[in-house]
């Protein structure tokens, strides 16, 4: 048992549901007790989703506990098949239901006989993998299922597209700025003259998965989700993949150069020409993106040697560390990730760019580290933002777990050349806010004129008896003053001099009338 | 509009495929209510993830609750439950020093049959902090019923009303009197006092309310010269009310049926079955019922109710004639529907997770009377609703307002149906005369908002209307 208040990555089924509900016309059925469908709330609220989240629960209740699910799961699957006619139904166990050890595969086999949809069982161990690992696993499972199906039916077409093309793998719902990143990646590839073959899972149809092998290469923007799929496609179809995250000027260039190398394997044969992206990289770096110029400007000079701490998922924490250290000259006192399963890769990425590396999924450890290091700014998740609030250190949010404010309506990619601008703003704003704060503290605030009294009331003619005083103290601080004023106003109007609890509530009713 | 609305209260039961919060969410408001408590939720990552996301910012305020997160070793019994819980509870005692630790049992502890009730007394003596066990799991309960399980467990911990001891005290007093006969006055006073107390019928109200709302309700009863002798729960665990055979109890929320049963059967209290003090009509009926039990003629209640209705005029103009659809997720639905019907609204359907017809009897009667009085057809009451079917029904009925969970709110809004998020009713102050306005404030918010946006021509915001 572990005493825990907060966790960075959610339970496995959340990952599965995120992948399933990102595809179009795929329905997930959770084998779960009442209340476990909280995923629907998150998707509906955080993503401000207009459509009903295609996730329902086959409820595990007392009866199921006593007698087993029996027909219930099968009925729920076939019913959903009739109602929504999805292409695929994914049966998803939860931590609770996986202890029941029911033969869910059997339910799936039975249900798939009587329904038009394909039915699969999400194959994840709830006590060994977290949300991100499960998402990675599920995506691979779905892709494998459809490619093997196509192969069996002889529909598999593995000839490459005429023009260079790419699959973008790993964009999905509730991902950190994923929608914006996706748009930016599409633009980048378009600029390079590369066709987008498929984007999965977000907005993709499972029926189209058999087209995946037609792309020249796969692009995996985030390491957390998509790598397993890329490895599978490489092994089965010899498809190369690029997993350098195009975040920050340097890594975008790296990523583009790798793309160039990949497509130049085939293009002299198929198209009779070689691609050269160097002029594009140069133009974008020096003139389109403002980040390179920013790091040269005097603004950024002021940031030199300032201390920062970075924490987040492996992809974002590693990239941001590299950007801060190499592109802006900021000193990274500590960088860390909660992706413990990817520790080796992470260490290798950041070891030369920071003083210290922290791999943990315990937020108190992160908090203690921040308190000890006392950086000028933090770049982390929502948790680090709150740690920063408590310690009075500004924080830029660079990774999930996230809150609704991290699903902005405006265009805010982290990837690609526009992403570099966004990141530069984020970094600069975090630091200046910190500096401004500091200056204010030294000079005693913007407004040095003292306000004599915050309340309009004077205590001369009115007395509060001890009960009403006690009652007043129960009212939350931010409205207490207002309530006090209103009560006294009411009392004066009615020639009451002694304020009792009754007077307080009479005043409230009077006001609301 | 082919769906017919019946003339009498009609109860239906659907599949139970509906969205609601897990009952462990009760820790969110109970830890704030009971100031010296600590809630330990014994469950998995799923429970933790729910709490973390559902309670949002509260998580960061060093809450007095935590997860005892079960790991693979706990599930497969490689670790000793007792030792593990002991370790965590000692840590909690060291860090927070609470007056009580409340263990919340979850689905997982049910399935692996972890004997929390068995372990608690043993551990309690070992670490010298009371441990209360409540099984607030999603296998058996929905959302607010979590509070019910906690309060039912707590009812066992309330001190026994000591009538016997009082008598003994008096005898002691006498003997003191005999020995120290130079102190006659003081002893006399003492006996008189206990005599008075005995004559006064103790009334304990149960249900967790913000302390301001609790004192508003106590005050209403005080006006009728009824003294509330205690609340379950009190502000502190150490102040739990005394219970016993002579004690009358009355619920203030519709989801407290287990607590009511426990108070009656185990603590021998007398239950006052009344409608719940939600809305001015409910509040009046609630006070009247208590008065009638205590043989008191209520004073000035009618005027008071009238006065509140007067003050609600502006809101009533907005809601009159509008229709409501309750999808059902927090068990407040019957009381809210009754109040809204009295406000002049038409209720198509009352979805509700669980319907205790005995505990809610008075409320159901009031609902029926209200429908008759307002000449409005009785709504159908759907227990364990099926959200999918409900959405189909809503598509036909096109209600002016759907009171629903957050999972459906945005998708319904996108389809042009006004929604109010139901969970807000559990967190807002809705009890008593004073807060009737707050209920209508919530109900009318989407209507008022949409009055402002009406002429913009973008009510329907989805691309293809499926099916």
* CATH code for the domain of A59: 3.40.50.1980
Q: Is residue A266, in this structure, part of any structural domain at all?
A: yes
Mark whether A65 and A94 lie in a shared domain.
yes
State what percent of residues in chain A have pLDDT above 90.
64
Taking CB atoms and an 8 Å cutoff, what residues of chain B touch A48?
A: 410
Q: Which of B66, B211, B407 sits opposite A474 (nearest CB)?
A: B211
Which distant-in-sequence residues (6+ apart) come within 8 Å of A355 by Cβ?
Answer: A331, A332, A333, A334
Average pLDDT over residues B254-279: 96
Among the listed ranges A2-6, A451-455, B36-40, which one has the minimum average pLDDT value? A451-455
Q: Decide which of A67 and A131 is more confident.
A: A131
Q: Is A56 on the interface with B (CB under 8 A)?
A: yes
Distance from CA of A95 to the nearest CA of B (A): 7
Report H helices in B23-77. 26-33, 45-54, 72-75
- Per the domain annotation, does A5 fall within a domain? no
Residues of chain B with pLDDT > 90, as a percent, come to: 72
Give contacts of A3 with chain B, Cβ < 8 Å. Answer: 66-69, 88, 91-92
Residues A439 and A325 in one domain: yes
pLDDT tens sequence across A321-342: 999 999 999 999 999 999 999 9
Are B108 and A5 a contacting pair at CB < 8 A?
A: no
pLDDT mean across residues, chain B = 87
Peptide bond into B233 cis (omega under 30): yes
Residue-level pLDDT at A483: 81
User: Does the structure show a pLDDT above 60 at A236?
Assistant: yes
pLDDT for B180: 44
- On average, the pLDDT of chain A sits at 90
Looking at the complex, does the CB of residue A479 fall below 8 Å from at least one CB of chain B?
no
On whether residue A192 sits in a domain, the answer given is yes
Cβ atoms < 10 Å from Cβ of B146: 28
**What pLDDT band is residue A513 in, cutting at 50, 70 and 90?**
low
Which of these, A197, A205, A214, lies nearest to A86 by C-alpha position?
A205
Secondary structure letter of residue A354 according to DSSP: B
- Position B462 scores a pLDDT of 78
pLDDT of residue B141: 94
When pLDDT is averaged across residues B1-18 and rounded to a whole number, the result is 71
Task: Work out the average pLDDT over A466-486.
Answer: 80
Q: B114: helix, coil or strand? A: coil
| Contact predicate A326/A284, CB 8 Å | no
Tokens representing residue B259 in the block:
């607590």
State the average pLDDT over residues B446-455. Answer: 82
pLDDT of residue A68: 82
Same domain, yes or no: A438 and A302: yes
Mean pLDDT of B344-369: 95
For residue B456, pLDDT over 70 is answered with: yes
Domain-embedded: residue A158: no
Q: Is the confidence at residue A418, as pLDDT, over 80?
A: yes
- My answer on whether A354 and A420 are in the same domain is yes
pLDDT for A69 beyond 90: no
CB A53 within 8 A of CB A414: no
| Residues of A with active-site annotation | 299
CA distance A402 to chain B (A): 10
pLDDT band at B201 (very low <50, low <70, confident <90, very high): confident
The candidate with the shortest Cα–Cα distance to B107, out of B59, B76, B141, B145, is B141
Average the pLDDT over each of A1-10, A257-266, B178-187, B307-316 and give the range with the smallest value. Answer: B178-187
pLDDT at A437: 66
Q: Do A34 and B211 touch (CB under 8 A)?
A: no
Using CA atoms, how far apart are residues A337 and A314, in angstroms rounded to an integer?
6
Closest CA to B338 of B366, B361, B313, B310: B366
Report pLDDT digits (tens) over B279-335: 999 999 999 999 999 999 999 999 999 999 999 999 999 999 999 999 999 999 999
For the cut 80, the answer to whether the pLDDT of residue A202 exceeds it is yes
CA distance A5 to B65: 8
Here the CATH number for the domain that contains residue A493 is 1.10.8.550
3-state helix, strand and coil shares in percent for chain B, rounded to the nearest 5 = 50, 15, 35
**What's the rounded Cα separation, in Å, for the pair B377 and B4?**
10
A171 and A197 inside one domain:
yes
Best CA proximity match to A355, nearest among A371, A344, A369:
A369
Q: Are residues A377 and A495 in the same domain?
A: no
Of A269-278, A426-435, A503-512, B69-78, the range with the highest mean pLDDT is A269-278
Report how far residue B31's alpha carbon sits from residue B310's, in angstroms, rounded to the nearest whole number: 37
Q: Does B139 touch chain A (CB under 8 A)?
A: yes
Q: What is the pTM of this model?
A: 0.86
Confidence of residue B4 (pLDDT cuts 50, 70, 90): very low
Q: Is residue A240 part of a domain?
A: yes
pLDDT at A34 over 60: yes
Q: What is the DSSP letter of B321?
A: T
Same domain, A429 and A365: yes
Residues A348 and A415 placed together within one structural domain of the fold: yes
Estimate to the nearest angstrom the gap between the alpha carbon of B140 and the chain centroid: 17
- The residue assigned the tokens 């922290």 is A358
Domain-located, residue A369? yes
Judge if A192 and A221 occupy the same domain.
yes
Overall number of domains in chain A: 4
**Beta bridge pairs of residue A59:** A32
pLDDT greater than 50 at residue A196? yes
Least confident of A356-370, A444-458, B357-371: A444-458
Chain A partners within 8 Å of B402 (Cβ): none
pLDDT exceeds cutoff 50 at B379: yes
pLDDT of residue A368 exceeding 80: yes
For residues A57 and A93, is the Cβ–Cβ distance under 8 A? no
- Whether chain A has a CB inside 8 Å of the CB on B196: the answer is no
Which residue among A3, A13, A48 places its CB closest to the CB of B410? A48
A117 with A101, same domain: the answer is yes
So what's the pLDDT on residue A155?
Answer: 86
**What pLDDT does B444 receive?**
94
Domain co-membership, A125 together with A235: no
- pLDDT, one tens digit per residue, over B10-58 is 899 998 889 999 999 999 899 989 999 999 999 999 999 998 888 765 6
Higher pLDDT, A315 or B59: A315
Q: Is the pLDDT of residue A510 over 60?
A: yes
Residue B423 has, within 13 A of its CA and on its CB side, a CA count of 19
Question: Going by C-beta distance under 8 Å and a sequence separation of 6 or more, which residues neighbour residue A342?
Answer: A223, A224, A314
pLDDT in tens, A383-413: 899 899 888 899 999 998 878 888 999 999 9
B6 versus A7: the higher-pLDDT residue is: A7
Structural contact between residues B288 and B265, judged by C-beta atoms closer than 8 angstroms: no
Angle between helices A12-22 and A131-153 (to 10 degrees): 50
Question: Given pLDDT bands bounded at 50, 70 and 90, which one contains residue B72?
Answer: confident
In a domain, A17, yes or no: yes
The arithmetic mean of pLDDT across residues A502-509, rounded, is 86
B contact test, residue of A15, A17, A38 with most B CBs within 10 A: A38
Domains belonging to chain B, first-starting first, are 23-141 (3.40.50.1980), 203-294 (3.40.50.1980), 301-463 (3.40.50.1980)
Give the 3-state secondary structure of residue B68.
strand
A94 shares its domain with A192 = no
Contacts of A352 (CB under 8 A, 6+ apart): none
Is position A205 within any domain? yes
Nearest-neighbour CA in chain B from A241: distance (Å): 33
Residue of higher predicted confidence among A15 and A455 = A15
- Show the domain range for A436: 292-443
Pairing state between β A26-32 and A88-93: parallel
Of A221, A255, A288, which residue is a domain's last?
Answer: A288
Band (pLDDT 50/70/90 cuts) for residue A489 is confident
> Bigger pLDDT: A439 or A114?
A114
Tell me which chain A residue has its CA closest to the CA of residue B404: A41
3-state secondary structure of B200: coil
Min Cα–Cα distance to chain B from A293, Å? 38
Q: Are A111 and A73 in contact (CB under 8 A)?
A: yes
Name chain A contacts of B138, Cβ cutoff 8 Å: 32-36, 96
Q: List, for residues A142-163, the tens digit of each pLDDT value.
A: 999 999 999 999 988 888 999 9
Note whether A7 contacts B23, CB cutoff 8 Å. Answer: no
Give Cα separations from A209 to A24, B306, B345 (angstroms): 12, 66, 51
């Amino acid at each position: 048992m572990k005493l825990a208040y907060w966790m960075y990555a959610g339970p496995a089924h959340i990952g599965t549901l995120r992948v399933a509900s990102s595809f179009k016309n795929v329905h997930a059925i959770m084998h779960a007790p009442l209340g476990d469908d909280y995923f629907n709330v998150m998707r509906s609220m955080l993503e401000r989703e207009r459509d009903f989240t295609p996730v329902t629960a086959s409820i595990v209740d007392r009866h199921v506990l006593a007698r087993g699910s029996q027909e219930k799961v099968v009925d729920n699957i076939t019913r959903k098949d009739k109602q929504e006619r999805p292409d695929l139904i994914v049966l998803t166990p939860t931590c609770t239901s996986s202890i029941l050890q029911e033969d869910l595969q059997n339910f799936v086999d039975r249900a798939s006989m009587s329904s038009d949809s394909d039915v699969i069982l999400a194959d994840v161990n709830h006590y060994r993998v977290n949300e991100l690992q499960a998402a990675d696993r599920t995506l691979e499972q779905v892709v494998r299922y459809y490619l093997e199906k196509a192969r069996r039916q002889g529909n598999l077409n593995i000839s490459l597209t005429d023009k260079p093309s790419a699959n973008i793998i790993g964009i999905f719902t509730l991902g950190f700025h994923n929608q914006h990143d996706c748009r930016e990646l599409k633009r980048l590839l378009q600029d390079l003259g590369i066709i987008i073959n498929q984007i999965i899972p977000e907005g993709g149809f499972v029926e189209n998965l058999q087209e995946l092998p037609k792309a020249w290469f796969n692009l995996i923007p985030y390491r957390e989700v998509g790598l397993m799929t890329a490895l599978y496609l490489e092994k089965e179809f010899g498809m190369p993949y690029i997993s350098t995250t195009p975040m920050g000027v340097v890594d975008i260039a790296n990523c583009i150069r790798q793309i160039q190398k990949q497509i130049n394997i085939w293009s002299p044969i198929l198209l009779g020409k070689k691609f050269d992206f160097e002029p594009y990289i140069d133009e974008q770096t020096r003139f389109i993106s403002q980040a390179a110029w920013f790091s040269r400007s005097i603004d950024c000079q002021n940031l030199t040697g300032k201390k920062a701490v970075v924490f987040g998922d492996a992809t974002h924490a590693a990239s941001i560390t590299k950007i801060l250290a190499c592109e802006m000259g900021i000193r990274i006192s500590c960088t860390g990730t909660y992706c413990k399963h990817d520790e080796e890769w992470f260490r290798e990425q950041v070891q030369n760019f920071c003083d210290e590396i922290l791999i943990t999924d315990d937020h108190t450890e992160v908090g203690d580290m921040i308190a000890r290091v006392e950086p000028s700014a933090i770049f982390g998740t929502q948790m680090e933002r709150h740690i920063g609030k408590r310690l009075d250190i500004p924080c830029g949010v660079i990774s999930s777990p996230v809150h609704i404010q991290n699903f902005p309506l405006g265009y805010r990619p982290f990837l690609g050349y526009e992403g570099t601008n966004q990141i530069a703003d984020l970094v600069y704003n975090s630091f200046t806010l910190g500096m401004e704060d500091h200056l204010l503290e030294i000079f005693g605030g913007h407004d040095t004129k003292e306000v004599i009294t915050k309340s309009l009331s004077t205590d001369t003619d009115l007395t509060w008896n001890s009960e009403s005083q006690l009652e007043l103290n129960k009212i939350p601080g931010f409205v207490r003053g207002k309530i006090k004023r209103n009560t006294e106003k009411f009392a004066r109007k009615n020639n009451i001099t002694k304020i009792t609890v009754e007077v307080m509530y009479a005043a409230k009713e009077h006001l609301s009338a | 509009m082919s769906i017919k609305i019946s003339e009498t209260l009609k109860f239906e039961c659907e599949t139970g495929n509906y969205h609601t919060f897990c009952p462990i969410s009760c820790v969110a408001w109970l830890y704030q209510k009971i100031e010296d408590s600590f809630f330990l939720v014994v469950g998995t990552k799923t429970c933790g993830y729910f709490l973390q996301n559902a309670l949002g910012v509260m998580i960061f305020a060093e809450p007095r609750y935590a997860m005892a997160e079960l790991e693979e070793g706990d599930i497969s019994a490689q670790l000793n439950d007792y030792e593990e819980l002991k370790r965590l509870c000692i840590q909690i005692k060291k860090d927070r020093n609470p007056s009580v630790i409340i263990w919340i049992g979850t689905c997982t502890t049910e399935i692996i049959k972890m004997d929390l009730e068995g372990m608690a007394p043993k551990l309690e003596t070992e670490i010298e902090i009371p441990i209360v066990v409540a099984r607030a799991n999603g296998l058996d309960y929905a959302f607010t019923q979590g509070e019910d399980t906690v309060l039912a467990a707590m009812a066992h911990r309330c001190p026994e009303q000591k009538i016997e001891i009082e008598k003994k005290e008096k005898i002691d007093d006498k003997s003191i009197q005999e020995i120290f006969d130079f102190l006659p006055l003081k002893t006399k006073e003492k006996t008189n006092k206990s005599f008075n107390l005995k004559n006064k019928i103790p009334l304990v109200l149960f249900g967790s309310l913000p302390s301001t709302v609790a004192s508003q309700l106590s005050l209403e009863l005080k006006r009728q010269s009824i003294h509330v002798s205690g609340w379950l729960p009190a502000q502190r665990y150490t102040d739990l009310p005394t219970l016993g055979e002579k004690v009358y109890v009355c619920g203030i929320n519709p989801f407290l049926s287990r607590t009511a049963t426990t108070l009656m059967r185990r603590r021998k209290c007398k239950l006052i079955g009344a409608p719940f003090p939600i809305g001015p009509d409910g509040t009046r009926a609630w006070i009247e019922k208590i008065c009638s039990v205590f043989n008191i003629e209520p004073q000035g209640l009618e005027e008071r109710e009238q006065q509140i209705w007067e003050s609600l005029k502006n809101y009533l103009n907005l809601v009159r004639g509008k229709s409501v659809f309750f999808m059902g997720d927090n068990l407040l639905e019957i009381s809210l529907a009754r109040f809204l019907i009295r406000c002049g609204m038409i209720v198509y359907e009352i979805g509700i997770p669980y319907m205790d017809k005995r505990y809610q009897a008075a409320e159901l009667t009031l609902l029926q009377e209200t429908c008759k009085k307002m000449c409005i057809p009785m709504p159908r009451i759907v227990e364990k609703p099926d959200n999918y079917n409900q959405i189909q029904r809503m598509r036909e009925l096109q209600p002016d307002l759907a009171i629903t969970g957050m999972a459906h709110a945005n998708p319904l809004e996108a389809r042009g149906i006004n929604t109010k998020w139901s969970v807000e009713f559990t967190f807002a102050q809705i009890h008593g005369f004073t807060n009737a306005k707050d209920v209508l404030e919530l109900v009318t918010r989407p209507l008022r908002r949409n009055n402002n946006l009406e002429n913009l021509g973008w009510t329907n915001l989805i691309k293809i209307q499926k099916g």
